[in-house]
Amino acid sequence: MPDNIVEKIWQQHLIKQQNGFPDILGIDFALLHEVTSAQAFDMLDDKNLGVYDSSKFLATIDHSIPTRTNRHEIHDPTAKAQIELLRKNCAKHNIPICDLDSTRQGIVHVVGPEMGVTQPGMTLVCGDSHTATHGAFGALAFGIGTSTLAHVFATGAILMNQPKVMQVAFTGELPNGTYAKDMIMHLIAEIGIGGATQHVIEYTGAAVRALSMEQRMTLCNMSIECGAIAGLIAPDQTTFDYIKDRPYAPQGPLFAQAVEYWQSLCSEPDCSYDSTIELNIAELKPMISWGTNPQQAIQSHQKTPDEHNAAMDYVKLNTNQKLIGTPIQWAFIGSCTNGRIEDLRIVADILRDRKIATAVTMYVVPGSEQVMLQAKAEGLDQIFETAGAEFRLPGCSMCLGMNDDKVPAGARCISTTNRNFIGRQGTGSITHLASPATVAYSALAGFICTEFIQHEAS
């Protein structure tokens, strides 16, 4: 049977296969951040082990930091200690770190691709569940826990059983006004948050091929939200063009050699999948989540379910209710899902020469220093500020409520992030997940909407 892309990558990285034991799988690269690495370094010390090859690791600081201008002043003493410990551990083990103000710092899943670290066919891990983002390049990239990170530090390999592979084939053309965010939220709503457990997803179809690299990253990023181990897209010219000339990319004649190899990374015709799902997106409308997990989401013209669900009590919504028109107090643009330059351009195009509603606080947080610098070079920061939004410094910010940026209890936020779990953006906060365009339109109107509606104040 001809191989699919996941089987190809697995075979190339399989070091040992033995009955009754998990496979030993070689790992090409690991990214790390401050939250899930400290205990892994401790585990090394505990066993008197070193890092097997420090050039196969890259660290950044993203989760615990403030995004205000004086971000070096970290008020939370444990967050401060955590960040300082990452610096100390990286120095000790000679691991490069994209530190604050290095022009390279940012959210780990924005930084990796930006640096050219993420390349087709590689195995890449990070102590972070949104590592599937890197699958956009045809890499097998997945989140691991801290103990597994210690295994990678010590050996450059992990123990894992070969995953099943699910093909998600998008048919039809993505309609104007909808984005990769809507595609992935649609999939999650269809198959559920456990729908792809134990599987790696390969996204296929002309609509996927038509996506830019940044949109592909958004698509793969939320694979974990339907339970998938990873999600990936076979590489093509769009992929190669993005990687070329980035700091970690192969330089000179090596690049052509690399491309030749990367082109072999596709699922063969007549290969088999453990399951296949076909989703027609020709009529897709913008997606908005209503509940307390990413599966609880509907298209803009749809209503909340007929049947009462406990999540409705938390989010203060009723059965059979439209989301359009629901007042919001917060709007957030950013995160590893939607904090890249193309996302910021979409938002700027909508906010240009307009003002957000007075009742709304809006944060625009670039995914990295590179994204921030590019946005400033294009004058996007001015558009955001003029519209009444705050353009802040790079980091995970309001995505997960573990730094200063939190949605207050009882407040409703429309957000480009990836999870609407109870209290995710701050204790008692209510989250509606959506695309950057939907967040921008909603911020202007002061209530959830997916097109430009003039609000009363203007």
Partner 1 sequence: MYKKIAKHNIQGLCAPMMIDDIDTDIIIPAQHLTQTSQSGFGQHAFARLKKANTDFVLNQKRYQAAKILIAGDNFGCGSSREHAVWAIQELGFEAIIAPSFADIFSNNAKKNGLVLIELSTDTCQQMAQFAEAENLYLSIDLATANVTSKHFNHAFNINPFFQYCITHGSNEVDYLLQHMGQIKAHKTAAVNHSLFIQNGASQ
Q: Is residue 441 within 8 Å of residue 333, measured between CB atoms?
A: no
Secondary structure (3-state) at 49: coil
- Scanning 74-82, 201-209, 234-242, 384-392 for contacts with partner 1 by CB under 8 A, the matching segment is 74-82
Amino acid at 204: T
Q: Does 2 bind partner 1 (CB under 8 A)?
A: no
Minimum CB separation from partner 1 for residue 39, in Å?
A: 5
Q: Does 109 bind partner 1 (CB under 8 A)?
A: no
Query: Half-sphere exposure (CA, 13 Å, Cβ side) for 175?
Result: 10
- Scanning 39-47, 172-180, 298-306, 430-438 for contacts with partner 1 by CB under 8 A, the matching segment is 39-47
- Scanning 78-86, 277-285, 327-335, 356-364 for contacts with partner 1 by CB under 8 A, the matching segment is 78-86
Contact set for partner 1, span 212-251 (CB under 8 A): 224, 227, 229, 246-251
Secondary structure (3-state) at 11: helix
Given 261, 268, 327, 377, the residue binding partner 1 (CB under 8 A): 261
What count of other Cβ atoms lies within 10 Å of the Cβ of residue 454? 9
Phi, psi of 359 (to 5 degrees): -80, -5
Contact set for partner 1, span 361-390 (CB under 8 A): none
Given 82, 105, 299, 417, the residue binding partner 1 (CB under 8 A): 82
Q: Does 410 bind partner 1 (CB under 8 A)?
A: no
Nearer to partner 1, 358 or 427 (CB): 427
Contact set for partner 1, span 304-363 (CB under 8 A): none
Minimum CB separation from partner 1 for residue 239, in Å?
A: 13
Query: Half-sphere exposure (CA, 13 Å, Cβ side) for 212?
Result: 8
Given 6, 117, 211, 389, the residue binding partner 1 (CB under 8 A): 117
The DSSP-derived string for 358-398 is TT-EEEE--SBHHHHHHHHHTTHHHHHHHHT-EE--SSSGG
Nearer to partner 1, 140 or 364 (CB): 140
Q: With the CA atoms of 143, 145, 147 and 150 taken in that order, what torsion angle do they form, in degrees rounded to the nearest 10?
A: 40
In the shown chain, the binding pattern of residues 412 to 431 toward partner 1, with x for contact by CB under 8 A and - for none, equals -------x-xxxx--x----
Nearer to partner 1, 1 or 310 (CB): 310
Given 4, 5, 29, 343, the residue binding partner 1 (CB under 8 A): 29
Given 6, 107, 108, 115, the residue binding partner 1 (CB under 8 A): 115
Given 2, 17, 22, 280, the residue binding partner 1 (CB under 8 A): 22
Minimum CB separation from partner 1 for residue 371, in Å?
A: 17
Contact set for partner 1, span 136-165 (CB under 8 A): 143-148, 150-151, 154-160
The DSSP-derived string for 120-138 is TT-EEEESSGGGGGGGGGT
CA pair distance 115, 138, nearest whole angstrom: 16
Q: Is residue 413 within 8 Å of residue 332, measured between CB atoms?
A: yes
Strands (E), 94-178: 97-98, 123-126, 140-143, 157-160, 164-171
Q: Does 279 bind partner 1 (CB under 8 A)?
A: no
Nearer to partner 1, 44 or 174 (CB): 44
What are the residues facing 278 on neighbouring strands?
A: 169
Q: Does 31 bind partner 1 (CB under 8 A)?
A: no
Q: Is residue 200 within 8 Å of residue 140, measured between CB atoms?
A: yes
Kindly give, in sequence order, each residue whose CB lies less than 8 Å from that of residue 370, ignoring residues fewer than 6 positions away.
Answer: 103, 104, 106, 114
Q: Does 402 bind partner 1 (CB under 8 A)?
A: yes
Minimum CB separation from partner 1 for residue 99, in Å?
A: 12
Q: Does 119 bind partner 1 (CB under 8 A)?
A: yes
Q: Does 50 bind partner 1 (CB under 8 A)?
A: no
Q: Does 256 bind partner 1 (CB under 8 A)?
A: no
Q: Does 127 bind partner 1 (CB under 8 A)?
A: yes
Q: Does 15 bind partner 1 (CB under 8 A)?
A: yes
Kindly give, in sequence order, each residue whose CB lies less than 8 Å from that of residue 111, ignoring residues fewer than 6 positions away.
Answer: 31, 58, 60, 98, 104, 105, 117, 368
